[in-house]
Every structure is written in C-alpha cells, then in structure tokens.
Amino acid sequence: MNPRFGLKKALYSEKLAPYLFVSPFILAFLVFFLYPACSTAIMSFQEVQGLNSSNFIGLDNYKRLFDVHFYNALKTNTIYTILSLMLLIPVPILFAVLLNSKLTKGRTFFKSVIFIPALTSVIVAGVSFRLMFGESDTALINAVLGKLGIPPQNWMLNYGTGMMLMVILGTWRAAGINMVYYLAGLQSIPEELYESAEIDGASGWTKFSSITLPLLKPIVIYTLTIGIFEGYRMFGESYVFWNEGMPGDIGLTIVRYIYQQAFQRNDLGMGSAIGIVLLTIVLAINLIQLKLFGLFKKDGD
Amino acid sequence: MSEAVRKKLTTAVIITFFILVCFIVLFPLYYMFMASFKDSRELFRNGMDLRLIPGMMSLDNYKLLFSDKSVYLYWYRNSLLITGLYTVCSLFLSSLVGYGLGAYVFKGKNLIFTFVLFVMMVPLEILMLPLYKLIVNMGIINTYSGVILPFVVSPMAVFFFRQYVSGISKDFMDAGRMDGCTEFGIFFRVMAPLMRPAFGAMGILLAMQNWNSFIWPLIVLRTNTMFTIPIGLSALMTPYGNNYDMLISGAVLAIIPIIVLFLLNQKAFISGLATGGVKG
C-alpha cells in the first residue's frame, strides 16, 4: 500500500485521527513515565555502579533504608504536611469567604495581591526569608524580638525553628492558590440558598456552617489531597535554607534524602528504594482519602 | 445601631483586615526589593535591620549582575529560552492530546485518560533517577532539551484542554468536515481558534511553573553558563553569605517578568488555575 495514501486516509478518518492526536501522550507516557517507573522499581533491588552497570542485591537497599535518617526524613515530611495543612485550609477559606462578600470593597485588588507569592520561585522567595531570619541580632526578625526582650535566635540551626521557616515559606507561597480554589467553589453556590436561609432568620455563622462549609467540602478534600501530595514531595523549601547540608537532619525530607543518596553519594539503588517508599506513601494516603470521602462513587463528580 | 451603619462598620473591619494581610503577604518581597539597594557589606553584617527604607540606596548590586565577569545574563537568557520553548511545545502537544480526548469517541479513550490522571497523581521526584540515566544515555544532559523533553506533554494541560474541548459544540467539527478539511485541518482552522482562551490560561500557567521549576533543572544542568536563574541563585547561596549582593538583586530581577505577565493577564491566571484544579 502506498504509505502516503495511508497517512492521507488517517488524516480524513474520524476513526484513526484521534489516535494521532493522542500519540504524543502515549509516546511520552511510555518513554518518560512507564519505562522510568519500571526502571526505578528494578533499580531499587540493585546495587548500581556507574550509569550502566548494576547487580541485583535483593532487599538490601530496603533493609538499609529503615535507619534513623529515613525516619527523620519521614517525620519531617509528616510534621511539615500537618502544620501546613492546618494553615492552608482555614486561612484561605477565611480569605475567600470575606472576598466573596459584597460588603468587601477592592476585592480584585486584594485577590491579586494575595496570589502574588504563588508567582515566585521557592528559591527566589527563600532569599528574602533567609535574610529576614538571619542569625545576627540586627537581622529583621531578631531585631524585632530584641525590642520585645527576646534573645536572638539562630533560626536555621534548630529543628523547631527550621521547621517553622519551611512551613512559613511553603504557606506563604501556597495560600493564594488555595484561596482561588475556594473562591471558585463559593461562586458555584447558588445565591438562593442564602436568601432562603435569611428568610428563616439564619445568622451569618449558621449560614457559613450549614451552607457554605458543606458545599465547599469537595474543594476542602481537593486542597487536602494536593496539600498531602505537595507536603510529602517537598524539596525546595528545605534546599533553600540548607543547600549545602544541614546540622543533624534538620530539613532532611524524603526527596532531599533521594537527592542526597543518588546525586551526592552516587547510590542510585538506594535512591530508587526511597522513591518507591515515597510513591507507596503518597498513593496509600490518596487511596485512603478517596475511600473515606467516597470519591469512588460515580456521582461524586 | 442601624442596618446601614452596621454594614459600613463591617466593611471597614474587613478592609482593615485585608490591608493588614496584604502588608504581611507583600512584606518579604518589599523587604528583598529594598535590601537590593543596600551596600553588600552592610547587608551581610546587619541584615536589613529595622529601618525599612535604607539610609543609602545605590544600584551597585544591579551593576554587578551586568558586569563582564557576571554569568547572570546567561542564566536569564537560559530561563527565558527554556520557558519560551517549553511553553510553546507543551501548549502544542498537550492541546493536541486534550483535543483528541475531548472531541472524539474512540476505543481506549478512557484508558488513556486514566493514565493522564494517574501521571498527575505520581510525584515526579520518584522518576528523577531513571530519567537522569535516560537523559545521560540520550546525550542530552546539560542541554535545553534535557530540561524540556521529559515533561513537555503536561498531564495538567491535557486535562485542562480536554475539559475545555468537551464544552465546545461538535457542530463546528461537522461544518469543517463538510468543507473538506482533514481532521487536523479541523483542529488548526476551526477548533484551535475557538480554544484561544484555553491557550491563554494554560500558556500562562505553564510558563509560570517552568520559570520557577527547580529540582529537575538542578539535576540536568551541570555547567554554570547553562543554569537557569533559580539554579544559579541556589548555587550562590553559601553558608558564608558573601554573595548577598548578586543573590538579592538577581532574585528581584527574576520575579519581574512573571509579575508583569500576571498583572497583564490576571483573569487568565485565575481561571486557568480554578478550572484545572477544581474540576479535578
């Protein structure tokens, strides 16, 4: 068959053309997703020497994995995720509800300003945070504390304050994004619901707790899911404060640990094993959540 | 208290609250901007201290970025080129796929869409190591293609375009067919123009993500003159703080393009984000 005839036929065919349209994804999926995913799984059972030679060592990487450093990384990610979510759900809801109220003037302006941090890279924003939380007693935050009679802190050298830095930076950048999600959710709530509640004499709080919050539930779940996902893959927030290494394991996160093992110690097998554990954690949490919130039911969307 | 007075009072409280919020939100950026005009030795010694407007302001830190020895201009060029190339290629490929999934009924469609959603659910960090090996073996380590290629078909963009195309009437496609267009002709001549708002929203979002992307370029880009801005700046961050002059003025200049883009296209930013996210 003439190949040009074949191509021409495909271009006119409603049956064949869709496969051509989706082919970039299929190709990218096979080469840049499926193959690497299998490759990670295999490498996690190997000792990898250089880029092209390796031998199987069974579960050794996984056995080595469960040491104190990994637990520290896991703990840091878990605490980080919980703390950020404690801020990243209520605060954006508050912003969105107030910005959705007709009483508020200058809504577009406030919305834009609150979104601006989301535009900055974690590294660029981190420069500013590193300066503000400098260790000298004249650096901004220490100077303010000094006025209050609190001694200067060495922010990046303590686990607690280090965690605080990461949470503040992460929350500062993500709050505006969540606010946009909640605003979109609020706009889809029909005005009549509030009107009829008002006729029944419902107070502002009753309206919020019995109309707004239940109807925002899908978006709360969405931001919760994204928050957990982002929390367990956090890297930049740690890297910007401790790019050259850290005292103890302050700021050691799971992805940081992968990076350290694979690219600084050249142990790709170990790095892969950590990656597989990370994948398991993220997927497990996602599945539990989907199950808990009944999102497997078709009418959920 | 009358109803009108109470409303006015509530409004005043809310606005005061938001002015305070805006102050907190913008403070780190304002702080960095002001610090960028400070003398670097003083900056290192005293941080920014409590004077929010520095006593002496100079452009020395910025001059440093444009001096002969500086590699900052390379970083800026790399960032602009990588973001530009990535955004154009990704918009093209992702819109083709999203269109295919949204506009046609065909065997395997649901399976492919499930894969799109699955890729969105897997943290890319677990693929870094084999991808790194792959990029080395393909000989594109330390190149723009190495940064762009693995993530050029963006599942988020595919998802977004699919949603958008599902909302466009299929009558347009039939009209194209009557006029003798090929299926690709229909896409380029009929549907793509109708998808313009989607291209706008997604283009801006992809550009923003790519301009700020960090971990993958950190792995792929190896030589100083190939770095993008975030990678270059992170390399300047030593524990001794002796690069604060370049670091801080470089960071300020890095934010400007994306802020300008945002101020010109706020609606597209917000709608892209809201549609791509909430319906997920």
Instruction: Give the model confidence (pLDDT) of B217-237 as tens digits.
Output: 999 999 999 999 999 999 988
Query: CA–CA distance from A234 to each of A227, B86, B143, B205 (Å)?
Result: 10, 23, 25, 20
- What kind and span of H or E run contains A209? none
Using an 8 Å CB-CB cutoff, list chain B residues near A103: 7, 10-11, 14
State how beta strands A46-49 and A53-56 pair. antiparallel
- Mutation site for B-interface testing, chosen from A38, A109, A120 by largest number of B Cβ within 10 Å: A120
Distance from the first to the final alpha carbon of chain A = 47
- Whole-number Å distance between alpha carbons of A234 and A281: 14
User: In the prediction, which pLDDT does B52 show?
Assistant: 62
Using an 8 Å CB-CB cutoff, list chain B residues near A8: 182
Residue keyed to tokens 């200067």: A152
The type of residue at A254 is I
- Whole-number Å distance between alpha carbons of A130 and A153: 13
Q: What is the ipTM of this complex?
A: 0.90
User: Do A254 and A74 touch, CB atoms closer than 8 A?
Assistant: yes
Task: Please spell the DSSP secondary structure of A252-278, one letter per residue.
Answer: --HHHHHHIIIIIS--HHHHHHHHHHH
Beta-carbon contacts of residue B49 (< 8 Å; ≥ 6 apart): A138, A139, A140, A143
Give how far the C-alpha of residue A226 lies from the chain's centroid of Cα atoms, to the nearest Å: 6
Predicted structure pTM score: 0.91
At A89, phi and psi to the nearest 5? Answer: -100, -60
Q: Which residues pair with A47 in a beta bridge?
A: A55
pLDDT tens profile A278-288: 999 998 888 88
Compute the nearest-CA separation of A190 from chain B (Å): 17
| Average pLDDT in chain B | 88
Compute the nearest-CA separation of B22 from chain A (Å): 6
User: Do B85 and B144 touch, CB atoms closer than 8 A?
Assistant: yes
User: In the prediction, which pLDDT does B222 show?
Assistant: 94
pLDDT tens profile A71-110: 999 999 999 999 999 999 999 999 999 998 887 788 889 9
Does B101 touch chain A if contact means CB atoms closer than 8 Å? yes
Of the candidates A40, A108, A113, which has its C-beta nearest B130's C-beta? A40
Out of A148-157, A194-203, B207-216, which region has the weakest mean confidence (pLDDT)? Answer: A194-203
Contact flag A138-B49 (C-beta cutoff 8 Å): yes
User: In the prediction, which pLDDT does A139 show?
Assistant: 82
User: Do B124 and A282 touch, CB atoms closer than 8 A?
Assistant: no
Mean pLDDT of A200-225: 87
**Is pLDDT above 50 for B143?**
yes
pLDDT tier at A58, thresholds 50, 70, 90: confident
Buried b (16+ CB within 10 A) or exposed e, A109-138: ebbbbbbbbbbbbbbbbbbbbbbbbbeeeb
Task: Please spell the DSSP secondary structure of A100-150, one letter per residue.
Answer: HSTT-SSHHHHHHHHHGGGGS-HHHHHHHHHHHT-SSTTSHHHHHHHHTTP
Please state the three-class secondary structure of B204-236 as a single string: HHHHHHHHHCCHHHHHHCCCHHHCCHHHHHHHH
User: In the prediction, which pLDDT does A85 show?
Assistant: 96
Q: Which of 23-42 (B) contact A at CB < 8 A?
A: 25-26, 28-29, 31-32, 35
Compute the nearest-CA separation of A285 from chain B (Å): 11
Torsion of CA B91, B93, B97, B103, to 10 degrees: 60
Query: CA–CA distance from B1 to each of A95, A290, B9, B16, B70 (Å)?
Result: 27, 48, 10, 21, 65
- Whole-number Å distance between alpha carbons of B31 and A143: 14
The residue ranking higher by pLDDT, A66 or B199, is B199
Q: Which of 215-274 (B) contact A at CB < 8 A?
A: 215, 219, 229-230, 233-234, 237-239, 244, 247-248, 251, 254-255, 258-259, 262-263, 266, 269-270, 273-274
Nearest CA in chain B to A28: B153
Q: Which of 53-82 (B) contact A at CB < 8 A?
A: none
User: For a pLDDT cut of 90, what percent of chain B falls above it?
Assistant: 58
Task: Please spell the DSSP secondary structure of A225-241, one letter per residue.
Answer: HHHHHHHHT--HHHHHH
Contact flag B233-A123 (C-beta cutoff 8 Å): yes
Q: Which residues pair with A48 in a beta bridge?
A: A54
**Is pLDDT above 70 for A299?**
no
The residue ranking higher by pLDDT, B124 or A2, is B124
- The CB-side HSE value for A138 (13 A sphere, CA atoms) comes to 10
- Whole-number Å distance between alpha carbons of A111 and A176: 8
Task: Evaluate the CA torsion angle A239, A74, B121, B277 in order and state its sign.
Answer: negative
**Is pLDDT above 90 for B266?**
no
**Is pLDDT above 90 for B53?**
no
- Whole-number Å distance between alpha carbons of A12 and A7: 9
Angle at B251 between CA B38 and CA B236, to 5 degrees: 90
Tokens of B31: 């702080």
Taking alpha carbons only, the member of A253, A252, A270 closest to residue A261 is A270
Contact flag A98-B17 (C-beta cutoff 8 Å): yes
Of the candidates A18, A136, A236, which has its C-beta nearest B46's C-beta? A136
pLDDT tens profile B89-141: 999 999 999 999 999 999 999 999 999 988 988 888 999 999 999 999 999 99
pLDDT tens profile B158-170: 999 999 999 898 8
Residue keyed to tokens 């600084």: A264
| Average pLDDT in chain A | 88
User: Do A267 and A261 touch, CB atoms closer than 8 A?
Assistant: yes
Mean pLDDT of A50-68: 83
Mean pLDDT of B259-267: 88
Contact flag A25-B115 (C-beta cutoff 8 Å): yes
Mean pLDDT of B8-12: 88
